[in-house]
Structure 1
């Protein structure tokens, strides 16, 4: 068991290093630039703060499973620059995604990063769609890896009867996420009903019914 745990950690560390070397973010120009998240100054990234410590580079965010008691039966816990200020300018971040049995991380995109996932436990159906509308899909399980190219729509679904979890690595300190359904039906201000009706070939009452499911709680 100890050997298996060490192997898992080595794989996760390799993912982090690879993601950092193939950065989608601008190259760093100094050793560190810990983000001053409270600064009113807006730049492409975050302003560096002057008082820093080891805690700026440390987090326990991904140590424990997240609650999947929600509509989709999944939870993404992001360890990005907004949660770990020391990631500023380093071009890398992680997430932990937990899935209840039947849980779905719904179709979404990351506009600023490629994503690679490593399965901690469980089994998932995963896939991405190219701009030519070709689906690349596979079932992955404990210890396996799958890559989602930058900007392409992708998803993960737990079709099993037990929970599942992955660690996801990104070559950006803040990859961004646009969930397709929420983006289109939960935008504020709202996307016009007639636009969505025509785009999805459904009636306006159907559009309004879907929108009601994505309205802010």
Structure 2
């Protein structure tokens, strides 16, 4: 009985000793499908677990009048492997984050200034639309199309968290019109005419 008791505690302590508290990203090593390699713990400092980039507004002087400041594993190495990340969203009046998806994560958005009209579309093509005000939170299930639009006359600010340190991003408009996919194929798959496709490619930088 005593032997079993000591064996039990030996197994517990052996398991605890093998627990890895964190995997701070090693940017000198290649990134793989599972994320970055782990930095040598001897080289880890408290600064790896602190990010100070979300206190400043992003530059919204662009086509969509919006800016996203990410704190993903690539910017915040302490997040690597922890299944979480965050970003700041700035929307100038008239600003929009076009229809997009995050293939690798569910998103949670909290509005801290202004108001934001937003929706996601389910795989059954049901639209879940709401205008959010300061303090409101909305969740977007992983992989579903969604958007955000400034719904007021003042700059809107939100913070968005993700269930991955690398949530991924694909903006639908850019996927169709900002690459070199032949225009004839874009016309066939979107039901747009040649003039519309040409116009959108010119705006977004596509060719073909």
Partner SS state of residue 36, structure 2: coil
Aligned pairs for 1:42-57 within 5 A: 42-50=32-40, 51-57=43-49
How many matched pairs? 186
- The answer to whether residue 162 in structure 2 is matched with residue 200 in structure 1 is no
Q: How much does 1:114 deviate? A: 0.5
User: Could you state the TM-score of these two structures normalised by the residue count of structure 2?
Assistant: 0.85
Find the structure with the greater CA-based Rg.
2
**Counterpart secondary structure, 1:66:** coil
* Residue of structure 1 equivalent to 2:133: 141
Identify the match of residue 86 of structure 2 among 78, 81, 94.
94
Corresponding residue for residue 26 of structure 1? none
RMSD (CA atoms): 1.4
Distance 1:41 1:109, change over 3 A: closer
Q: Is 1:38 aligned to residue 28 of structure 2?
A: yes
Q: CA deviation at 1:64?
A: 1.6
Query: Is the contact made by 2:30 and 2:37 (CA closer than 8 Å) also made in structure 1?
Result: no
Question: 2:105 corresponds to which residue?
Answer: 113
Structure 1 residues 184 and 38: alpha-carbon distance in aligned structure 2, compared to 1, 3 A threshold: farther
User: Aligned with 1:198: secondary structure?
Assistant: helix
Unaligned runs of 5+ in 2: 1-18
Deviation at 1:46, TM superposition (A): 0.7
TM-score calculated relative to the size of structure 1: 0.82
Q: Which runs of 4+ in 1 moved over 3 A?
A: 40-43
